[in-house]
Structure 1
């Protein structure tokens, strides 16, 4: 079990990097160094181990790291100098050859005549290019090889461009999937968040279409979704609308199940998105938003349920804040967890450190809102203490809370109290909600029985769990930043079980 202490942010890195491409690790290492978690020499050595020994083609960069690590000047040779020179010559030679061939293909497919003739049908496009311009599948594959090589040497902008054109034209499903992973990584490393969001959504649609019945079966589908969830962190926590989009995609039952099965530590970022996005996802704003409010409450219930189920595997101050607030209704415990987040917990998190102030503000709002909903008479001074605010700050906070949440309340500043007027929930409304949930589950059971009776296999990914829709619903994504993890060598596009997509697959 991971304790909810100040080391939770640092502990989680070891779990995340193993699901990422090694190029994406570099900004993470820089962040850890900036937080004085590791010495400069340790970070240099980690980068050499990550990128060197033929794992990437960033020969010049790795040599410069070794030179700095060994304390040598530009005119001095580092250990393994001859190997660096040999590898550099091979990379330059291959790069020049592929560039000349791939550029010839690009010159053809980028002409106005060809662009106007291309259609959505890839088979039509391939037939047209072969008949009219003599382009073969092997020549089109040069776009993939050149984009792959550009990525491996750190030229991410060019890699994104060539991989995109290859993906649009090719019918090779394995290479297309590899190119999609590579373009996503390149867009993340370039900081092109809109493009990365678009690629993230397309990759998710591709994974969902393959599903459990695709090559490799359920295990490969689980691996692909696990990688997708980790890579999406960079997009969702950098794109302006990323937190809301994260909730839309991660709360799909297929992906929530993946988190609970393969990556419970990602609940940290799901909870953070719930708290940060509370204005757009949690707050009721009158009759016009009653439908959204119901979905929001359902989403929060799903998150709380997952936190309770996975607490034995993972918990930290972020997840414990929401669980204690809503599951245990422990306001003192929630305040303590919120205080930990306000100190060092979020400062040490690569993805969340920029959202620290926003998280704490919204956490206070959720605490005060929940407190007001279960009390009729509230002492402002006591509530201020629970929120870690002064008396004056607490008074302003209560006024803003009543106005923003549209609570039926009367504030008496002379007696320093808030009188809450709670309307009883109609019995028929509770009956309707429970009946709706029973209907959803009954339909799912009936569908499963029909499939079994016909001799088929029930796809559990497409079933409803706890009244929430799964499988077929499509969501959108968000944007974030770059990191990396354990990869295989960049010498081929194939993926082995347990290995994250690599620079080779870029």
Structure 2
């Protein structure tokens, strides 16, 4: 996607400084790396030829001959196309025909409606049924997996999905079933079947989390991959951000983020903040808890990771530095609009962030300049007065507007000592857990 506004030199340098692509792609399959690289190919931030060369190098060894040929032509305009591409296409077609012949019997059996009624939960019994009644052996079933894998490497994601799905439904090979599920997830992502992708990653997550025998380092590695693959459906489904918050704040996944990939705090911050775009969630207890937990973990991890988004949160909720918060929000806007996963959430985040600044400002100051408040919120006079009415309604504050002086005076109810103590102690469990996790994991990561 190309940017409609020409970026300044300073903006480009800021984007390069905080570009997370190099941190994210080690946790992705090469096919999923492509959308991230392609995102930057026409933005003018990096040299287009360099990006195209990276994409070509990424796919030259897989079976996407048409695609790699098109990339070669872009890199070598006017030159004669090497014969190797035509040879490769012939080899690919021959291999597909071979796999079609080898799997013809099992694919035909899978079309039989009677088979569906005969299959049970017990995969071992199903394999015996396939062998005794239909002559389908384990080796023939494995060919189905190999064909699905080959189709995936050809970029035929729909065909790959179906083959891998059928293999997984019948096979009792746990390792190959897990591998097939990764392929199914990637295929769902490329097909933009976001709800299905979310469900399949959930299946992977449950499989990984249930392996009590897996050593902690391997489990950390697998969870890190899960976290990064989740970013695709999380930002493309209606309740994806909600699901992201639920998962990433669990003890095991927050520990993984802190130990392995603290840059994920950028995406968690956007998920939480953008959910309050119109300020209507400000007094929602679940939203408030998530925001408090986010502020705490950003404070703990500030020496490990920071960017304009996390620094905005820190400036506003830890330092109460409104000037710094505004400055970081301006930088955050540039980052958000040039982040593959966040570009669609940019406006909702910015709107919610402006409300957050004003809410915190209103908590600290009793007498507020209306013009300054409306300007910071980017609201008209009518919209601003409606916003004040909503804030007083949800917060139970009393507000008096003095139009002659252009000010609003807020009278806040004083919380009881009991309420103050409860508020102070709400996050102690979370904070203690994160400090303990940090103490355990930091030496291991050195």
With normalisation by structure 1, the TM-score equals 0.77
**Distance apart, 1:14 and its partner CA:** 0.9
SS at match of 1:239: coil
Tell me the residue number matched to 1:278: 276
Q: Partners of 1:402 and 1:294 in 2: how far apart?
A: 15
Tell me the residue number matched to 2:331: 340
**Distance apart, 1:277 and its partner CA:** 1.2
| Pairing partner for 1:399 from 388, 394, 415 | 388
In structure 2, relative to structure 1, the CA distance for the partners of 1:5 and 1:29 (3 Å cut) is closer
**Distance apart, 1:321 and its partner CA:** 1.0
Residues 296-305 or 424-433, more deviating:
424-433
**Distance apart, 1:404 and its partner CA:** 6.9
Deviations 1:179-219 (A, max 9, x none): 111111111112111211111111111111115x22xx111
Q: Partners of 2:422 and 2:113 in 1: how far apart?
A: 59
User: Is the counterpart of residue 207 in structure 1 residue 208 in structure 2?
Assistant: yes
Deviations 1:343-378 (A, max 9, x none): x22221111112211111111111122222233322
User: Is the counterpart of residue 70 in structure 1 residue 76 in structure 2?
Assistant: yes
Tell me the residue number matched to 1:60: 66
Normalized per residue, which structure has more helix? 2
Q: Partners of 1:141 and 1:169 in 2: how far apart?
A: 10
Greater length-normalized contact order (CA 8 Å, ≥ 6 residues apart): 1
User: Is the counterpart of residue 36 in structure 1 residue 44 in structure 2?
Assistant: yes
Q: Partners of 2:370 and 2:409 in 1: how far apart?
A: 10
Tell me the residue number matched to 2:263: 265
In structure 2, relative to structure 1, the CA distance for the partners of 1:398 and 1:435 (3 Å cut) is closer
Q: Partners of 2:380 and 2:280 in 1: how far apart?
A: 27
Tell me the residue number matched to 1:305: 296
User: Is the counterpart of residue 378 in structure 1 residue 350 in structure 2?
Assistant: no
SS at match of 2:368: strand
**Contact 1:383 / 1:394 at 8 angstroms: preserved in 2?**
no
1:432-451 to 2 correspondences below 5 Å: none
**Distance apart, 1:142 and its partner CA:** 1.7
**Contact 1:9 / 1:348 at 8 angstroms: preserved in 2?**
no
**Distance apart, 1:87 and its partner CA:** 3.5
Give RMSD over aligned pairs: 3.0
Runs of 4+ in structure 1 displaced over 4 angstroms? 279-282, 430-438
Unaligned runs of 5+ in 1: 286-292, 442-462, 469-506
In structure 2, relative to structure 1, the CA distance for the partners of 1:347 and 1:139 (3 Å cut) is same
Tell me the residue number matched to 2:240: 242
**Contact 2:18 / 2:335 at 8 angstroms: preserved in 1?**
no
**Contact 2:188 / 2:194 at 8 angstroms: preserved in 1?**
yes
SS at match of 2:408: strand
In structure 2, relative to structure 1, the CA distance for the partners of 1:363 and 1:279 (3 Å cut) is closer
Unaligned runs of 5+ in 2: 1-11, 437-446
Q: Partners of 1:104 and 1:464 in 2: how far apart?
A: 59
Tell me the residue number matched to 2:148: 147
Deviations 1:59-84 (A, max 9, x none): 232122212321137xx333xx33x3
**Distance apart, 1:431 and its partner CA:** 4.6
